[in-house]
Amino acid sequence: MTDSILKPWEKTIRITILENAVDVPENNLLLRCLQYMLPETVPYGRFCWNDECGNSEFRYLLPGDPEERVERACRFVPVADMEITAVSDQLRQVLAPLFSTDS
């Protein structure tokens, strides 16, 4: 599948963001994956999209690796079954609708 904001992809992969499982398009930067899932909030976040501002920083664990790492969503391609354990305030703001319990 393709979308104008995404690189070509054929399937989604499951990752965990702050204890919530989500499916994201494979082979794409995390920030683009988030934009795909939340087109009404992510594009309006305070992100530079080119690794200069640091507003997309997050902490994560890879499957089978206990070492927590730090990266920026504008330059990181998610891995299946990874777990995002902490996000910047900017990411938390734009992700809020994803985890809202309101119907």
Tens-level pLDDT at each residue, the chain (103 residues): 556 789 999 999 999 999 999 999 999 999 999 999 999 999 999 998 888 899 999 999 999 999 999 999 999 999 999 999 999 999 999 999 988 765 4
Domains and CATH numbers, the chain: 12-95 (3.10.20)
Instruction: Give the whole-angstrom CA distance, residue 38 versus residue 57.
Output: 18
Instruction: Give the whole-angstrom CA distance, residue 95 versus residue 89.
Output: 10
- Cα–Cα distances (Å) from 84 to 2, 5, 41, 56, 90, in that order, read 25, 22, 19, 12, 15
Q: Cβ(87)–Cβ(95) under 8 Å?
A: yes
Task: Give pTM, 2 decimals.
Answer: 0.90
Cα dihedral: 48, 28, 12, 101 (round 10): -10
